[in-house]
Chains A and B, each alone.
Chain A
Amino acid sequence: MNENLFTSFTTPVILGLPLVTLIVLFPSLLFPTSNRLVNNRFVTLQQWMLQLVSKQMMSIHNSKGQTWTLMLMSLILFIGSTNLLGLLPHSFTPTTQLSMNLGMAIPLWAGAVITGFRNKTKASLAHFLPQGTPTPLIPMLVIIETISLFIQPMALAVRLTANITAGHLLIHLIGGATLALMSISTTTALITFTILILLTILEFAVAMIQAYVFTLLVSLYLHDNT
C-alpha cells in the first residue's frame, strides 16, 4: 500500500520513451481554434469563457502590462485544463511535478521583476522598504523584504505542487479506505463514500482555483513592476 501510494506520481515512460511529452501536449487538443465569426458550440463556449477571464484579469494593468495578456491567458488555460484532466481516473497530472511548476514560475516571476528593474529602477528598489518604517528598523526590513522577494517563485511553484498532490493523495487514501471498509461495515463505507464525493467536488474547485491563483499572483507581480 505504501509503495503503491506514490507510484501514480512517477513520470510515465513507455519502453524508455518519454510518454509525458504527449500527456503534457494533450490539453492543447481540447482547445480548437477557428477563424470564423460564428462558430460551433464548443468553440463559442471557450471563447466566451476566455473573454470573461481576460477582462477580469487584465483590466488592472496599464498598456505595458496588457502586452502580457496572451502569456497569462495561456497560463491559466494550461494549468486549469491540466489540473482538471488529472481528476480523471488513472491519468497523470504534470502539475504534480515540482520541476514543471518551477519551470513555469521562475521565468515568469523573473521576467516581471527584471522588467521592473530595467524600466522603473527607482520604484522597484523602493519596494524593498515599506512606507513609514522607523529608522532603526530599516536594515532588518530591507533584508526581510529581499528574502520575501526571492521566495515568491518558490512559493508559486510549491503552492501548486503541494495542493494538487495533496488532493490526489487524499482521494487515493479515502478511496482505498472505502473499498477496504465495504467488507467490514457497510454503514461506515457509505459515510466514507460521501466524504469521497465531497472531496471530489472540492478537488474540482481546487483545480480551477489553483490555476487562477497562480496566474493572479504573476499578474500582481507584473502590476508592481510595470
Chain B
Amino acid sequence: MNQPLQRSVGGEPVCSQGLRPLCSAERETLGVRECTCISDESDGLLEFCDVPLKEKKLLEVKLGELPSWILMRDFTPSGIAGAFQRGYYRYYNKYVNVKKGSIAGLSMVLAAYVFLNYCRSYKELKHERLRKYH
C-alpha cells in the first residue's frame, strides 16, 4: 500500500511506522530519485545479496572484475546514445533544473568547452610557449 512520503530535515525520505522507503536508482529515472513507502514485511523478497555484475554501478565493482564489467557494457550506437542522454539529464537535473539555479551550472559547461578546445589545439599552442628552445 503506498503511503504519502515525508521528508526529514536532511532530505532523506521517511515513512510512518511499519513502512520503509524504497527509492529508484537515479540512472533509470534520468537523474531524479522517485521514492515510495512499502510495507516492512516484504523484506526478504526485495533484498538481493548477490547483484549480477551487469547491474552493478562502477563504484561497486571490484578491481578484479573491472575488465569483464567494461566488456559487458552496451557499446551499440543506441547504447552510447543512451549513455550520453543519461549523462546530460544527470547534469541538467542536478545543476540547472533546480529552484534556485545559479551561474555555476552554465559556467561549468563553458569551462569544459574551453578546456576541450585547448586540448584540441595543443599541438599548435605548444610552439608559442615562452621558452628558449622549443
Binding site for B on A (CB under 8 A): 4, 7-8, 12, 14, 19, 26, 29-30, 32, 40-42, 85, 88-92
Contact B113 A42 (CB under 8 A): no
Q: A4-B124, A88-B113, A91-B113 are in contact. Are A41 and B100 (CB under 8 A)?
A: yes
Contact B106 A30 (CB under 8 A): yes
Q: A88-B113, A90-B118 are in contact. Are A42 and B101 (CB under 8 A)?
A: yes
Q: What B residues does A91 contact at CB under 8 A?
A: 113-114, 117
Q: What A residues does B105 contact at CB under 8 A?
A: 42
Contact B114 A90 (CB under 8 A): yes
List B residues 86-103 near A (Cβ within 8 Å): 88, 92, 96-101
Contact A32 B96 (CB under 8 A): yes
Residue pairs across A and B with Cβ atoms less than 8 A apart, 9 shown, are A14-B120, A26-B113, A40-B97, A41-B101, A42-B96, A42-B101, A85-B113, A89-B114, A90-B118
In the bound assembly, the distance between CA atoms of A4 and B129 in angstroms comes to 13
Q: Give the B interface residue count (CB, 8 A).
A: 22
B109 at interface by CB-CB < 8 Å: yes
Q: What A residues does B113 contact at CB under 8 A?
A: 26, 85, 88, 91
In the bound assembly, the distance between CA atoms of A26 and B116 in angstroms comes to 12
Q: A29-B109, A88-B114, A91-B117 are in contact. Are A40 and B124 (CB under 8 A)?
A: no
Binding site for A on B (CB under 8 A): 88, 92, 96-101, 105-106, 109-110, 113-114, 117-118, 120-121, 124-125, 127-128
Residue of B nearest to A176 (CB): B128
4 A-B pairs closest in CB distance: A90-B117, A41-B101, A90-B118, A91-B117
Q: What A residues does B106 contact at CB under 8 A?
A: 30, 42
Most-contacted residue by chain A among B101, B117, B118, B127 (CB, 10 A): B117
In the bound assembly, the distance between CA atoms of A183 and B76 in angstroms comes to 55
Task: Beyond A8-B121, A89-B118, A90-B120, list 9 extra A-B contacts (CB 8 Å).
Answer: A4-B128, A29-B109, A30-B106, A30-B109, A32-B92, A40-B97, A89-B117, A90-B118, A91-B117
Q: What B residues does A26 contact at CB under 8 A?
A: 113
